[in-house]
Structure 1
Amino acid sequence: MLNIPIIANTKRFFSPKDHGSHPTLDDDVELEVREGPSSGYHPNFNGDDAILKKNKDEVDLDTAKLTTVTSTVLNTHEGSLIYDDDKEFPDGGLQAWLVVFGAFMGLIPVFGLINSLGAIESYISKHQLKNISSSTRSWIFSLYLAISFLSCILSGGYFDRNGSVGLMCTGTVIYSGGLFALANCNSVWQFILAFSVCSGLGTGILMTPLIGAVATWFLRRRGIATSVSTMGGSIGGIVFPIMLRKLYKEVGFQWAIRILAFICVACLICASVFARERTKPIVQPFRSKSEVAKWYISSVFNWRYFLEGKFLFVAIGASFAESSLTSCATYLASYSMARGNTENAGYTMITASNAVGILGRYIPGYFADRFVGRFNVEIITISMAALLNFIMWLPFGGNSKVLWAYVCLWGFSTGSILSLTPVCIGQISKTTDFGKRYATVYLLQSLVTIPVLPIGGTLIGKGSVANYNHFIIFNSALMAAGAACYIISRHLCVGAKICKF
């Protein structure tokens, strides 16, 4: 466990210190926290369980007399890294990069399918569900995304306490089972049960350990490591639409989906082998079943996280930005065909967007770690995506050349949304509590996602250009709101000053 001593002056108890070493004065006191179970392997701070030392002698600590308490920053050269000791993280090496490789393989199906929803939506809208309205069809994908994000909350606390192995095995079985069942669906309720519920549940269970395992190995290079691992989602988004389009014609929908499921199983088995947390959590056993239930219920949703302003606005910003991203990606192929482009062009646009998204994950991640800061890059890229919607897609979407340029630029700007969101969450969280806090963000996102796609489907209606323009305005406003929330969170962290954060 990480035991963090905090040096404080009696006149300004727990006042923030400058980075580097601190001379101990005669009137300085040191607070040592006794180790105890938290989310698995880090203590919860409790003043009653602390030992106050002055000149190495214990003194009584009356916690009732403490008023304003502000934790000190750790010994790092960057003011933004204040929750973890960077010496505890390898930040590289063969084992660490094998974990990144495992997460990369696992995110090929997990994020890759999210990036390929348009390849499924455009097919079933013309075949199995051609007589069903777009607003009704949209519930299939809305519920899939909502359940994917909502079920993250089920795995967050478990990952922090028990690690990734059990979650990876369980999630693989549920996820692949839903895909195999999807191949035989012909009605809305069947699609919802197999794809939305089953595969969505598996997606959420897998998402937290795949992202969380990388976070346990990297701190200073976490942005680039997470970006590399999430490139798997872009690879899946490139390969799956092309593969499905070809397989639909050659073997039909059923075997196309089954082949997709077999590929996903192979990727997830590889991920289960390599994507492991750095250290096995050391936990105290539960004394009773009621204690087990109480702990897991409390870990599923900790509403106190939302009392922390910077976390609240990151959660809202991520929810708006990712909901806009998934909504636009889902209807991109249909929009292209409504504008007179061929079905082949619609599928290719999805592929092109995800291909450029590889650069959109790596380059922003590199600059975020080295030069600009994670929050700054996230604000820039989300704002760029909103502006592209307003100045290119909305007025010039009917021009195929402009549409292709938009798709590429939008794919680059949105590439960092999925990759840097967990990094920003980690930057304002302890790594040992990352699973729960990451999952809590996606709980909020699931609630935001539920109405977004149905609203989009209703706005699209019969698919006229005017209706699609209303859809574009709605999603662009969501993206802009997401950027605004990140700006507010950054302001709460470092104020208005220009700095790497």
Structure 2
Amino acid sequence: MYLATPFVLTICRLYPRWARWSTLAGLFLASLSLVASSFCGGALQLVGVQGVLFGVGGCVAYCPSTLYIDEWFSRRKGLAYGLVWSAAGVGGVVFPLVLQALLDTLGFRTAMRISACILFACSAPLAFYVKPRLPYLANPHNVKKPFDMRFVTSRRFVLHQTANVIEATGYFLPGIYLPTYARETFGTSTFMSALTLMLSNISATAGLAIMGSMTDRLHVTTCMIISAAGASVSVLVVWGLAESLPVLYVFCVLYGISAGSWASTWPGIMKEVSQNGEEEGYGHIDPVMVQGHLCVGRGVGNVISGPLSNALIKGMPWKGQVMGGYGTGYGVLIAYTGLTAVLSGMGFLWRFLGLL
């Protein structure tokens, strides 16, 4: 979903009349992939339909919202983006509970078919309200010409993208291991283990909206350092020293609010890169395409975080040798996550040094 974003956005720009209906088409493709997954007989087939096909469908469905927010909002654009992105946190709390109940009572194949129907029935009616503000001919972006992507080589964008990728390599690690960590460390039940992710997701919902509002008022690097400070303290101090389940839950809330809010700094990056484009010799820069390439950076970090996490916990380093979470075998993973959280605020330093 992340990696395909700039390509889908480009198609939407080139063919604006079709763009409005891509939300509906993407929802149909995503729902179809869930149905197809119910007929799979092996892991590779699941990777193809639930991994690739569902991801492409989700991206096609999602991109018009990103596209049109840039048209509909100006002064509170950051808040608008934050609220839209925060919806993923709500879905991350509600839908897993529904899916787990379906799996437990009906089995995998029936659960996938029913979830496909739920996804399409709940989302498709809303797709008709995802529409542009500007008429096609009045929108200066709706011209069939090659896009100037030279901004991806600008120092300003490269510095922001570097922080974006580094943050992403660490951000997804707690989400991969928190339920397992809670179960292995504190002997929790399945629900109490899953509660770690639920708390993180619902907290990220609030964090994204709050940070989106802040980007409308503060410089983007100030927002970054706020997110970085909160995330690094929550990981290195709260999770790192946690010796009880309630403290781990506190970490989940703090991490969701701070680290989960990172994506809402993107409107600030979009504004800064696009507004300085012509002055720096890169011509007109479409802010939506800046967001598309930031998605690629986050996607790269997401892909890296999977095998990286395996390497970080291999052999359970530091287990029983130090206190708190650092001595559970996940210590190196916690330390790395905290380090990436610290480095995600490097934009503030670059601005102080005059590089931004």
- TM bin, normalised by shorter chain, reads 0.7 to 0.9
Give the letter for the 1:364 counterpart: M
1:179 aligns with 2:34: yes
- Whole-angstrom CA distance in 2 between matches of 1:261 and 1:490: 46
Aligned to 1:276: 131
Aligned to 1:211: 66
Unaligned stretches of 5+ in structure 1?
Answer: 1-147, 287-291, 496-501
Offset at 1:406?
Answer: 0.5
Per-residue Cα deviation, 1:20-52 (whole angstroms, up to 9, x for no partner): xxxxxxxxxxxxxxxxxxxxxxxxxxxxxxxxx
**Which residue among 325, 333, 336 is the counterpart of 2:171?**
325
Q: How many residues align?
A: 334
Offset at 1:471?
Answer: 2.0
**Which residue among 420, 428, 434 is the counterpart of 2:265?**
420
1:309 aligns with 2:191: no
Other structure's SS at 1:149 match: coil
Give me the identity figure in percent: 21
Aligned to 1:360: 207
Per-residue Cα deviation, 1:209-237 (whole angstroms, up to 9, x for no partner): 22221121112111111122222111101
Offset at 1:183?
Answer: 3.5
**Which residue among 293, 303, 322 is the counterpart of 1:450?**
303
**Which residue among 334, 340, 345 is the counterpart of 1:478?**
340
Q: What is the root-mean-square deviation of aligned Cα atoms in Å?
A: 2.9
- Whole-angstrom CA distance in 1 between matches of 2:354 and 2:288: 21
Judged with a 3 Å threshold, the aligned counterparts in structure 2 of structure 1 residues 461 and 207 are, in CA distance, closer, same or farther, namely: farther
**Residue correspondence of structure 1 range 426-465 to structure 2 within 5 A:** 426-429=271-274, 433-461=286-314
CA contact (8 A) 1:322 1:418 kept: no
Judged with a 3 Å threshold, the aligned counterparts in structure 2 of structure 1 residues 203 and 326 are, in CA distance, closer, same or farther, namely: farther
- Whole-angstrom CA distance in 2 between matches of 1:382 and 1:275: 33
Offset at 1:488?
Answer: 4.9
**Residue correspondence of structure 1 range 216-231 to structure 2 within 5 A:** 216-231=71-86
Q: Rg bigger for which structure?
A: 1
Offset at 1:409?
Answer: 0.9
Offset at 1:345?
Answer: 0.7
Per-residue Cα deviation, 1:378-410 (whole angstroms, up to 9, x for no partner): 3211331122111111232x4212101111111
1:234 aligns with 2:95: no
Other structure's SS at 2:74 match: coil
- Whole-angstrom CA distance in 2 between matches of 1:280 and 1:269: 23
1:399 aligns with 2:218: no
Other structure's SS at 1:278 match: coil
| TM, length-normalised to structure 2 | 0.82
- Whole-angstrom CA distance in 2 between matches of 1:427 and 1:274: 29
CA contact (8 A) 1:352 1:407 kept: yes
- Whole-angstrom CA distance in 2 between matches of 1:256 and 1:407: 29
Give the letter for the 2:214 counterpart: F
Aligned to 1:153: 6
- Whole-angstrom CA distance in 2 between matches of 1:207 and 1:455: 28
Offset at 1:461?
Answer: 4.3
- Whole-angstrom CA distance in 2 between matches of 1:166 and 1:405: 42
Offset at 1:152?
Answer: 0.5
Per-residue Cα deviation, 1:76-134 (whole angstroms, up to 9, x for no partner): xxxxxxxxxxxxxxxxxxxxxxxxxxxxxxxxxxxxxxxxxxxxxxxxxxxxxxxxxxx
- Whole-angstrom CA distance in 1 between matches of 2:170 and 2:253: 17
Judged with a 3 Å threshold, the aligned counterparts in structure 2 of structure 1 residues 212 and 316 are, in CA distance, closer, same or farther, namely: farther
Q: Which has the higher helix share?
A: 2
Offset at 1:424?
Answer: 2.8
Judged with a 3 Å threshold, the aligned counterparts in structure 2 of structure 1 residues 449 and 199 are, in CA distance, closer, same or farther, namely: same
- Whole-angstrom CA distance in 1 between matches of 2:303 and 2:50: 15
- Whole-angstrom CA distance in 2 between matches of 1:426 and 1:180: 40
1:385 aligns with 2:238: no
| TM, length-normalised to structure 1 | 0.60
- Whole-angstrom CA distance in 1 between matches of 2:256 and 2:334: 16
Runs of 4+ displaced beyond 6 Å: 283-286, 492-495
CA contact (8 A) 1:161 1:281 kept: no
Comparing 247-256 and 334-343, the one that deviates more: 247-256
Other structure's SS at 2:72 match: coil
Offset at 1:242?
Answer: 1.9
- Whole-angstrom CA distance in 2 between matches of 1:427 and 1:263: 39
- Whole-angstrom CA distance in 2 between matches of 1:217 and 1:315: 26
CA contact (8 A) 1:318 1:445 kept: yes
CA contact (8 A) 2:215 2:264 kept: no
Offset at 1:343?
Answer: 1.2
Offset at 1:181?
Answer: 2.6
Aligned to 1:73: none
1:346 aligns with 2:207: no
1:190 aligns with 2:42: no
Unaligned stretches of 5+ in structure 2?
Answer: 276-283, 320-327
CA contact (8 A) 1:242 1:347 kept: no
- Whole-angstrom CA distance in 2 between matches of 1:450 and 1:185: 24
- Whole-angstrom CA distance in 2 between matches of 1:279 and 1:192: 39
- Whole-angstrom CA distance in 2 between matches of 1:328 and 1:401: 16
- Whole-angstrom CA distance in 1 between matches of 2:246 and 2:142: 62
Other structure's SS at 1:274 match: coil
CA contact (8 A) 1:156 1:438 kept: no
Give the letter for the 1:266 counterpart: A
Aligned to 2:331: 469
- Whole-angstrom CA distance in 1 between matches of 2:40 and 2:336: 31
Judged with a 3 Å threshold, the aligned counterparts in structure 2 of structure 1 residues 280 and 162 are, in CA distance, closer, same or farther, namely: farther
**Which residue among 475, 487, 493 is the counterpart of 2:348?**
487
CA contact (8 A) 1:241 1:350 kept: no
Other structure's SS at 1:262 match: helix
